[in-house]
Structure 1
Amino acid sequence: MGSKKKEIALQVNISTQELWEEMLSSKGLTVVDVYQGWCGPCKPMVSLFQKMRIEVGLDLLHFALAEADHLEVLEKYRGKCEPTFLFYAIRDEALSDEDGCLSHDEDNGEDEDMASSGKTCTLAIIKPDAVAHGKTDEIIMKIHEAGFDILTNEERTMTEAEMRLFYQHRAGEEAFEKLVHHMCSGPSHLLILTRSEGTEDVITAWRMLMGPCDPDVARREQPDSLRAQFGTEMPFNAVHGSQDRGDASRELALLFPTFKFSDEVPEASLGPGARSGGPH
């Protein structure tokens, strides 16, 4: 008698920070069912997931489970009484090349228009040093004057877990711990920017407005830039911006998992739906 073939689990259980980071590096689309321990994951969705994975293929579509109480990065979802699904995408040749944009998950009939607008989005952060010095409103005014549209502006104090993941590409640098500590030291303003005017894409335009990373260099080379005007010294340089389109997608996915994007932009929240085990 031949041996029984081992069944591959449809949904991978993400229970540690290491598994979470490994999941974020997976090529293709990963759908994460964020659940509460008292409720359990969403069983009615499993049959739909199975059908979707058969149609799309095993290499491009992945499903995962994550209990909110087990991961610091999911702290904001603890105690929720509705299903939450997060979508993370890493570009692959098989995925669309079109630019994505964002729309807030509100049932107001505007999601489809915003998602199909074709505008590129980027992340901007007004850092704790600028917020503490009362410069937020002035920086936002300069952002508007430079022709940017602010799709969302959220004041938030980031967690250490978020910032270690956010800056994981700089983990080997001497200033890494100081940077993480600074970014968690007080409230920041997290903005999602797009741009309807000018020929530059929003990522390049925002980096030009910020100026060189070091405020001293910015004051010499681009005295009108935000870092020249509002930064003091490294890492207290007032603002952050995504390096390129790949970084923008990754950073937006990490810090704004309750927004949804079309095409390559990586996350969405499906909102309320059927879930077994009581309300979620």
Structure 2
Amino acid sequence: MLSSKGLTVVDVYQGWCGPCKPVVSLFQKMRIEVGLDLLHFALAEADCLEVLEKYRGRCEPTFLFYAIEDEALSDEDECFSHEKEDGDDEDAVSSEKACTLAVIKPDAVVHGKTDEIITKIQEAGFDILTDEERATREAEMRLFYQHRAGEEAFEKLVHHMCSGPSHLLNLTRTEGTEDVVTAWQTLMGPCDPDVARREQPDSLRAQYGTEMPFNAVHGSRDSEDARRELALLFPSFKFSDQVPEAPLVESSVQPRLRVNALD
């Protein structure tokens, strides 16, 4: 992630305190406004990383800034670099094909339906590039569903998505002529499970959904939405039209932003 083009801001925290939640929300909002390819935000627990040992025991939030440069940055007091040979990045995933986001929601996960749904996804001709099961954060979901912020059900939807782990999938498609976004929308079925059972009884929402917002799965509305959602939930994923990164990135820089009483 530190090798991504643009500016990366790392919130360094300790387990006893946790990351600064208001700042997480702020940076996620800024990232959408400035551009997903230009601003990146990450969390790093100092207790788990030896290179961040010097930041342990602090009582205020600490932020580190990293930026792509033509030449390696250096600092006499502190400098550590992460080199990429021949542009390779073992943690990055990329695809030349169109992709879309699929989310198996907490209601389906808690009922043990994840494996069944994934099997049906693969049987329908989708390839899974990346999958991850984790609990999403409230600030993350508020940004994720920002286009629905004015709706009456917005708070209930955000609460549901943060109520337990979700299974996040990055899908592409190798079979058929239908584009991956449309194909995934078709497999999911209508948003309301009751409508899905009447109109598309073989769809995933008809089979695994119960009622709104417990409709088992989520999918991107269109290709632009898919790009935004994938960038938000899979920040290391590289889109096919992205320019290769510079061969070397970064130094730990010492402008340190001190913010008081945010938590």
TM class by smaller structure:
0.5 to 0.7
**Which residue of the other structure, out of 72, 86, 90, is the alignment partner of 1:106?**
90
**Residue 185 of structure 1: aligned partner:** 163
Superposition RMSD in Å: 3.7
Give aligned-pair identity as a percent.
63
What TM-score, normalized to structure 1? 0.64
CA contact (8 A) 1:82 1:273 kept: yes
DSSP-derived class of the 2:215 partner: coil
Distance 1:20 1:33 in 2: 7
Distance 2:164 2:43 in 1: 29
What TM-score, normalized to structure 2? 0.68
Q: Go from structure 1 to structure 2 and tell me whether the alpha carbon gap of 1:219 and 1:40 turns closer, same or farther (over 3 Å shift).
A: closer
Q: Gaps (5+ residues) in structure 2?
A: 1-5, 11-22, 45-51, 56-62, 73-79, 83-87, 255-263
Q: Go from structure 1 to structure 2 and tell me whether the alpha carbon gap of 1:33 and 1:208 turns closer, same or farther (over 3 Å shift).
A: closer
Report Cα offsets for 1:239-280 as digits up to 9, x if no partner. 000000011001001101122222169xx99898552469xx
DSSP-derived class of the 1:248 partner: helix
CA contact (8 A) 1:125 1:189 kept: yes
How far residue 189 of structure 1 moved from its aligned partner, in angstroms, is 0.5
1:30 to 2:35 alignment: no
How far residue 27 of structure 1 moved from its aligned partner, in angstroms, is 5.6
What is the identity, as a one-letter code, of the residue corresponding to 1:213? C
Distance 2:213 2:37 in 1: 34
Report Cα offsets for 1:4-55 as digits up to 9, x if no partner. xxxxxx9798957345413312368414475878484347x45669xxxxxx
What is the identity, as a one-letter code, of the residue corresponding to 2:127? D
Alignment of 1:12-23 (within 5 A): 17-18=25-26, 20-23=28-31
**Residue 139 of structure 1: aligned partner:** 117
Alignment of 1:188-267 (within 5 A): 188-263=166-241
Distance 1:119 1:126 in 2: 22
How far residue 165 of structure 1 moved from its aligned partner, in angstroms, is 0.5
CA contact (8 A) 1:122 1:203 kept: yes
Report Cα offsets for 1:94-135 as digits up to 9, x if no partner. xxxxxxxxxx9417xxx7xx84x6310000000000011111
1:167 to 2:145 alignment: yes
1:275 to 2:251 alignment: yes
CA contact (8 A) 2:192 2:212 kept: yes
Which of the pair has the greater relative contact order for Cα pairs under 8 Å at 6+ separation?
Answer: 2
Q: Go from structure 1 to structure 2 and tell me whether the alpha carbon gap of 1:11 and 1:231 turns closer, same or farther (over 3 Å shift).
A: closer
**Residue 52 of structure 1: aligned partner:** none
What is the identity, as a one-letter code, of the residue corresponding to 2:29? E
CA contact (8 A) 2:189 2:205 kept: yes
DSSP-derived class of the 1:263 partner: coil
